[in-house]
């Protein structure tokens, strides 16, 4: 065939084309990430609610605690919103991480994963794709949250734009690593209700028994003890230090290091659990 390819040529060649040999892992991840993101956009209500939820938290906490705590947080960064926002960034990220696990189980339940399992692809691609899609979702969520805080609540921390972005980046890293932990849990547990409960139990006590909303010395003594061993306190403090341009010290490094370790362990456990047959 030397001439130009005409329409009829292409038609005849599609009669029994060669077999597709399977896609490469990067293509698998790309295609599957696209799928998850598209599914997200397909239901705008979910997007709106997921963006609204942290904003509601921000309004509630800033209004409820703002006045009462004006004095005690002033030393740590001026207005309460400056103190609060880094914490909301981290907790929003963690909430988003719990959703990763639930999303994976939903896929298992509606059978799509069974179809993927019977395709010549690496199962790990499915997990990596979900993790990346969730990372993108969380990033959008956090950026909207940050912008809203600047525009609506006059968030203006001492760390300026770079400090704020640093706080956001750290929250994102924490979210990503915990997302893998929840993916690991999901691929071993495989029950939606159980995952929801685990997510709730992990979230709420840790969130309140930390430095998220009030400085540690404003907590009752026993709760101070809990908060001091609560890893969330360290993640929030690190994020807050970045935003407020406080002396960062080793806090940020250890928060990042812990996240990295969790990410690695979570990913390893998730891959193992996910590979188990149905």
What residues line the site for other proteins (CB under 8 A)? 14, 16-17, 19-23, 27-28, 31-32, 35, 38-39, 42-43, 110-112, 114-121, 277-278
Q: How far apart are CA 145 and CA 265, in angstroms?
A: 29
> Which is nearer to other proteins, 31 or 52 (by Cβ)?
31
Q: State in angstroms the smallest separation of the CB of 276 from other proteins.
A: 10
> Which is nearer to other proteins, 116 or 208 (by Cβ)?
116
Do residues 132 and 29 make contact, with C-beta atoms less than 8 angstroms apart? yes
Q: State in angstroms the smallest separation of the CB of 58 from other proteins.
A: 29
Q: State in angstroms the smallest separation of the CB of 54 from other proteins.
A: 23
> Which is nearer to other proteins, 2 or 19 (by Cβ)?
19
Q: State in angstroms the smallest separation of the CB of 224 from other proteins.
A: 45
CA distances for 224 relative to 39, 117, 188, 229, 242, angstroms: 42, 47, 33, 9, 23
Query: Closest Cα to residue 106, out of 202, 196, 204?
Result: 196
Query: Closest Cα to residue 266, out of 198, 188, 185, 172?
Result: 185
Angle (CA) 179-180-182 rounded to 5° is 65
> Which is nearer to other proteins, 121 or 244 (by Cβ)?
121
Q: State in angstroms the smallest separation of the CB of 141 from other proteins.
A: 19
Q: How far apart are CA 157 and CA 167, in angstroms?
A: 11
Q: How far apart are CA 262 and CA 234, in angstroms?
A: 14
> Which is nearer to other proteins, 190 or 228 (by Cβ)?
190
> Which is nearer to other proteins, 1 or 41 (by Cβ)?
41
Q: How many CA atoms does the CB half-sphere of 250 hold within 13 Å?
A: 3
Q: State in angstroms the smallest separation of the CB of 206 from other proteins.
A: 31
Do residues 69 and 63 make contact, with C-beta atoms less than 8 angstroms apart? no
Q: How far apart are CA 156 and CA 163, in angstroms?
A: 10
CB crowding 40-76: b at 16 or more within 10 Å, else e: beeeeeeeeebeeebbebbeebbeebbeebeeebeeb
> Which is nearer to other proteins, 129 or 262 (by Cβ)?
129
Q: State in angstroms the smallest separation of the CB of 199 from other proteins.
A: 21
24 SS3 class: coil
Q: State in angstroms the smallest separation of the CB of 16 from other proteins.
A: 8
> Which is nearer to other proteins, 6 or 250 (by Cβ)?
6
């Amino acid at each position: 065939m030397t001439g130009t390819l005409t329409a009829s040529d292409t038609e005849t060649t599609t009669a029994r084309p060669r077999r597709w040999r399977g896609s490469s892992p990067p293509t698998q991840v790309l295609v599957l990430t696209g799928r998850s993101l598209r599914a997200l956009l397909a239901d705008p209500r979910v997007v709106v609610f997921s963006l609204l939820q942290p904003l509601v938290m921000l309004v509630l906490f800033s209004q409820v605690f703002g006045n009462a705590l004006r004095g005690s947080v002033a030393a740590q960064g001026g207005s309460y919103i400056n103190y609060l926002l880094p914490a909301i960034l981290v907790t929003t990220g963690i909430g988003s991480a719990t959703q990763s696990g639930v999303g994976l189980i939903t896929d298992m339940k509606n059978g799509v994963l069974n179809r993927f399992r019977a395709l010549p692809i690496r199962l790990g691609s499915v997990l990596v794709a979900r993790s990346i899609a969730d990372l993108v979702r969380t990033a959008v969520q956090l950026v909207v949250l940050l912008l809203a805080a600047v525009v609506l609540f006059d968030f203006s921390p001492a760390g300026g734009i770079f400090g704020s972005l640093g706080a956001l980046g750290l929250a994102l890293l924490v979210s990503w690593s915990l997302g893998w932990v929840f993916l690991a849990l999901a691929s071993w547990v495989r029950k939606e209700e159980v995952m929801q409960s685990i997510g709730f139990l992990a979230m709420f006590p840790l969130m309140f028994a930390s430095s998220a909303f009030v400085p540690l010395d404003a907590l009752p003594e026993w709760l101070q003890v809990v908060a001091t061993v609560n890893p969330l306190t360290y993640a929030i403090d690190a994020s807050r230090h970045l935003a407020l341009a406080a002396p960062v010290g080793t806090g940020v490094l250890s928060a990042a290091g812990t996240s990295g370790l969790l990410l690695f362990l979570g990913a390893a456990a998730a891959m193992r659990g996910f590979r188990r047959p149905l």
